[in-house]
Structure 1
């Protein structure tokens, strides 16, 4: 059975407003040369991957249990462990715990890590994500990791995945038939990088639309993501794999369709070579 991760009542939630960052830029060490086309993924550790799984909610929120989400967690643990991530799972945290764990992750010393990854599996709507007892704006997940706030991750990939609805619209899709018979300069010592560089934020669906989840196999997006990472994780660069994920999810549905949304500020290619 396929369900969605929309808020049951379809209630509109106001978008949070965050103040603009101000202040002079700081000098920090960068783990890769300015003109390198790939990120340095040769640190001692791959890095931490935090999974926030929400499949139960406080009764006051009137949200249905997210049956099948535990399958997503199991698939993610397998896929990310094979790519050498240190995977930590947090189940049904309240909003205080979510914020505390994100803060603690951002405050760690990531000097010996290649990158960081955060994945949230929950209900959501209009830019908001639900914890056990309340909701928060999705940008609370990544703003603590900008290079000015988390200098040990400056110049390193910061990868975020949100499996949650972004509205209540359902995409009926369109049936199509294929017409095919087959389916050089020397870098300076110093340079500046934007504080929001090196981020990639992948949403399971586009703004305004629901995100589908199978009660047996897990969510369409996470199932596709894990399959692609397991199959191509050592061969392809990360954004090429995300394109494969989009294709797989976009062609999965029958009665309804879904297309994930990838927002990339990655300025180099990301590969996951094996660790020694």
Structure 2
């Protein structure tokens, strides 16, 4: 990964230099076909970003596309005469690496090699590239108080745990409390588009800072999706829906489809994770003396609208989920603990959530009567690659 590593080491200097003329470098990478026409249109039409923000997104996009594209990008910076004359400061940056420049024709031929061909391309990474800082946006909707339903005591402990773990993983964490159905819907649309940040004050947004959530008095001056999106919703619920603080229902499918891929969405092609802590019915889930786990995955050359989603729900359809009035819910507390352990080891999200499934499935609602009250979370995903979240130590 020499080229990508070179860009990463010199990322700040490269971005600062290319700010001198963003249009030129964008047109150059388009001419060299380092990005697709759709990516070019998206990068050209980004709203609410200064020149530096545009350059950051361009360089992040190049890094996301893997080693071969990074190599061609460095070749462009080193060999194109118009680029060199427009950005003279590039020569001050250590970009030279003999492995990055084109191999002379008279160099060794693959036909006479005893080992693998030096021209053989490495298989494209099967992992989502999360290089932005912050990694992305984590939105928590925390419904504790309801007009016609019982208070969800213990939910603030879950919110605290989520704020801690996703901040540790490099996300910017925002929370909205006690939202009605319509407020939830509008808030999620606002976070999906980030088109009008002035709306955020309507949803009583709080931001995680150090050891807790604090009120945001006005819209943040800048807010972007980064390379991943996390949405955590904690509320009452019924089959396939979650409840607003007014007792009205919002379908989970409607929530996820608010973030589906479009030509305009900055989240197209990026992972979107939804963690839903809510009952999905009124039935008690009883235990039996057998268990089975199975996961499935698929991939496609083109990105469908519904691609790159991971939805983990506290319980399967029609059943209750459990929450301790002091310690928080079984599901969210398990998610946070397994993230702390698994992300430190480099495990991917589906592996971590399988461990959550296993851990929650072993819990007993009535300790004196094993098997009487059980809970089984459910994970669904259309992820095309491995999603690995890593702690940010800086």
- TM-score per shorter chain, which class? 0.7 to 0.9
Of 244, 251, 260 in structure 2, the residue corresponding to residue 137 of structure 1 is 251
1:58-100 Cα deviation digits (max 9, x unpaired): 1xx3x11111111111111111111111111111012222112
Of 100, 125, 129 in structure 2, the residue corresponding to residue 40 of structure 1 is 129
Alpha-carbon distance in 2 for matches of 1:100, 1:226: 27
Alpha-carbon distance in 1 for matches of 2:335, 2:146: 25
Bigger Rg over Cα? 2
Q: Assess, with a 3 A threshold, how the Cα gap between structure 1 residues 120 and 111 changes in structure 2: closer, same or farther.
A: closer
Who is 2:173 aligned against?
87
Who is 1:247 aligned against?
358
SS of the aligned residue for 2:133 comes to coil
SS of the aligned residue for 1:151 comes to coil
1:156-185 Cα deviation digits (max 9, x unpaired): 100001101111111121367xxxxxxxxx
Q: CA deviation at 1:45?
A: 2.3
Alpha-carbon distance in 2 for matches of 1:46, 1:78: 15
Who is 1:168 aligned against?
282
Q: Assess, with a 3 A threshold, how the Cα gap between structure 1 residues 89 and 149 changes in structure 2: closer, same or farther.
A: farther
SS of the aligned residue for 2:128 comes to coil
Q: Does 1:116 align with 2:202?
A: no
Q: Contact 1:32 / 1:39 at 8 angstroms: preserved in 2?
A: no
Q: Assess, with a 3 A threshold, how the Cα gap between structure 1 residues 252 and 137 changes in structure 2: closer, same or farther.
A: same
SS of the aligned residue for 2:344 comes to coil
TM-score (norm 1): 0.79
Who is 1:225 aligned against?
335
Alpha-carbon distance in 1 for matches of 2:390, 2:289: 39
Q: What is the total number of aligned residue pairs between the two structures? A: 234
Q: Does 1:159 align with 2:270?
A: no
Of 180, 188, 194 in structure 2, the residue corresponding to residue 102 of structure 1 is 188
Structure 2 unmatched ranges of 5 or more:
1-35, 40-60, 67-122, 196-222, 291-300
Structure 1 outlier segments of 4+, above 2 Å:
26-36, 108-112, 273-276
Who is 1:28 aligned against?
38
Who is 2:144 aligned against?
55
**Which of the two has greater helix per residue?**
2
Q: Contact 1:28 / 1:151 at 8 angstroms: preserved in 2?
A: no
Q: Contact 1:106 / 1:150 at 8 angstroms: preserved in 2?
A: no
Q: CA deviation at 1:146?
A: 1.1
SS of the aligned residue for 1:129 comes to strand
Who is 1:12 aligned against?
none
Moved more, 120-129 or 96-105: 96-105
Q: CA deviation at 1:27?
A: 5.8
Q: Contact 1:54 / 1:92 at 8 angstroms: preserved in 2?
A: yes
Larger RCO, structure (CA 8 Å, separation 6 or more)? 1
Who is 1:69 aligned against?
155
Q: Does 1:210 align with 2:220?
A: no
Alpha-carbon distance in 1 for matches of 2:65, 2:230: 19
Who is 1:197 aligned against?
307
Q: Contact 2:343 / 2:391 at 8 angstroms: preserved in 1?
A: no
TM-score (norm 2): 0.56
Q: Does 1:267 align with 2:384?
A: yes
Q: CA deviation at 1:56?
A: 0.9
Alpha-carbon distance in 2 for matches of 1:124, 1:158: 21
Alpha-carbon distance in 2 for matches of 1:237, 1:74: 23
